[in-house]
A and B are shown apart, each in its own frame.
Chain A
Amino acid sequence: MRGVAWIFLGAMFGFIYLPVAALVLFSFQGGSLPVPPFDGPSLAWYADILGDRDLMAALRHSLVVALASGAVSVALGFGAAYGLARHDLKGQAVLRGLLIAPLTVSYLIVGLGLLIVLQRLGAGLSLWTAGIGHVVINLPLCFAILYAAMGAQQENAERAARDLGAGEARVVLLVTVPMLAAPILAAFFLSVTLSWDEFIIAFLLTRFDVTLPVEIWSLLRSGLSPRLNAVGSLVFLVSVAVVLAMEILVLRRRA
């Protein structure tokens, strides 16, 4: 019985890592096809993508959109969480439901709705419109994380600060935000990774300047190539780095 469990565990890890292994291994392929036999290791494809202007531009766009939409999502999410948790607003439950609602709808529908409205308004598509879409999908997560984190402990400290004469802005900036630093960072990192990786909204809402997933998508249309493996491996590396940073910055601090 015990043996079966370990075999199952091993098989599942094999399944989980099989595509990643194929991706990373053939990013070091020497030839022009990412298929066996392996004839590397060669860094030629990494050099190739680092010198590719379109890809590097898309990478910069993705970083900007991810950081900006992450910052806006956290700021808006924090405001909503603070407003709803600390003040007795009419229709609390409805407001919470409204803020969480985009989570229950698939990204495709969020993107499609925005696309229809933008076209009606005659507004052009750009990185801005993709960023707006990314805030729509990340705001509910930030709100949920921060709303859950608003506890009685901070409330007491806030009250003490107010009694000592601090205005609302100082209370929020000097008491609430520092006390909630860990969940705020967690919400920010989560938003950044989700936006960094998001495809369908960016695909529908950008035109000339595109984000990295959209650029990868158009590369994919022109064929299997070790270039794609190299890009994919780099993106994976960045995501893992962000996850590890979150683990170290946020979870360690909490422990």
Chain B
Amino acid sequence: MSGAGRGWGFAAPALIWTGAFFVVPFLVMGAMSLATLEGREVVWGISGENYADLWSRPYLRRAVLVSVEITLTVTAVSVLLAYPLAWIIAHRVPERWQRLALMLAILPFWTSYVVRSYAWLLVLGREEWINDALTGIGLIAEPLTLANTRFATVTGFVHFFTMLLTLTIYANLRQLSPNYARAAADLGANGFRTFAHVILPLTLPGIVTGAFLTFVLCIGDYVTPQILGGNTELTVPQVIMVQLGRRADFPLAAALAIVLMLLVSLAYLASARWLRLDRV
């Protein structure tokens, strides 16, 4: 019986694909982060130069800080908006309308990612645009510099992740048996205590899982900060793209990518206690 052999046969294409196009590139990128750039040539070797640069060049250190600040702000604000929204849909909206309400709440999630940031540019850049139109400058002005504030970046991100988190938290709330709340009420707890001591702890794994996904997706994103934040302060993905484009400094870009992964690992360690990645 060649059962295991057959099993390997079925799994092999996926394993080979992942190995060839994910694991190998990843290892090469790791090696690249230890290489150096001389002129425009990559010199392979084992050097900590790129990582040392991260410390010594304020521009790079600042990007890491900006990325972490933006991502933490976005994660916190998104959870604080999504939780009550999911709760209202799960507990205030009548049963037969819930599916529709949830679908409507996450429908713009399906707008094109690039277009969604552009749409926020329309909304947030409106005042400047009215001014532009009035002063007759018109279309020539660089649009990417119009709404360039951290506020714009955070707003664009929060919009996206609030929808994502509403979906995960709603699923979490619905899985919760109403008996818990009833039992707490029978034992004399008021609405607030029931929430703080029963509902919140029970839904915490769902919140943390959603927040972790938010962190991972947010810190690695290039589009939203580039369109909405402009070039006033750069995030790590923006700096990576600058290295790739203008300077062709692949070793430094690779080192920055490794730093992004380390930040995600830190977030994972910080939230591992409550994470339920198998139940997303």
Contact = CB atoms under 8 A, between A and B. Distances in A.
Partners in one complex: yes
Interface of A: 2, 5-6, 8-9, 12-13, 15-20, 22-23, 26, 32-36, 75-77, 79-80, 82-84, 86-90, 95, 98-99, 101-102, 104-110, 112-117, 119-120, 132-133, 135-136, 139, 143, 168, 193, 197-200, 204, 212-213, 216-217, 220-221, 223-225, 228-229, 231-232, 235-236, 239-240, 242-243, 247
Contacts of B28: 113, 116-117, 120
Given A22-B122, A109-B220, A117-B28, A9 B6 contact: no
A88 B10 CA distance: 12
Given A80-B15, A239-B112, A108 B10 contact: no
Contacts of B104: 13
A107 B105 CA distance: 25
Contact of B133 (A13, A35, A83, A120): A35
Given A8-B85, A217-B114, A113 B29 contact: yes
A235 B118 CA distance: 13
Interface string B19-47: 10111111011001000000000000000
A110 B216 CA distance: 13
A188 B92 CA distance: 34
A231 B24 CA distance: 37
A199 B114 contact: yes
A116 B221 CA distance: 19
B108 A26 contact: no
A86 B108 contact: no
Contact of B3 (A8, A87, A108, A120): A87
B130 A106 contact: no
A171 to B, nearest CB: 11
A216 B113 CA distance: 11
Interface of B: 3-4, 6-15, 17-19, 21-26, 28-29, 32, 81, 84-85, 88-89, 92-93, 103-105, 107-108, 110-116, 118-123, 125-126, 129-130, 133, 138-141, 143-144, 159, 162-163, 216-217, 219-223, 227, 237, 240, 244, 250, 253-254, 257, 260-261, 264
Given A75-B13, A95-B15, A220-B227, 10 more contacts: A83-B7, A83-B11, A84-B11, A89-B11, A98-B19, A99-B14, A109-B220, A112-B254, A120-B28, A236-B108
A236 B139 contact: no
A158 B27 CA distance: 40
A221 B112 contact: no
The 10 closest A-B pairs by CB, nearest first: A106-B220, A87-B7, A113-B25, A83-B11, A83-B10, A19-B119, A232-B115, A80-B14, A239-B110, A23-B119
A35 B147 CA distance: 14
Contacts of B254: 112, 116
Contact of A197 (B11, B112, B129): B112
Contact of B126 (A35, A84, A139): A35
Contacts of A133: 21
B92 A106 contact: no
A140 B93 CA distance: 35
B105 A112 contact: no
19 contacts: A22-B123, A32-B139, A34-B122, A84-B11, A88-B3, A89-B11, A95-B11, A98-B23, A112-B29, A112-B254, A117-B24, A136-B22, A216-B118, A223-B140, A223-B143, A224-B139, A229-B122, A239-B112, A243-B110
Contacts of A113: 22, 25-26, 28-29, 257
B14 A79 contact: yes
Interface centre among B93, B104, B111, B112 (most CB of A within 10 A): B112
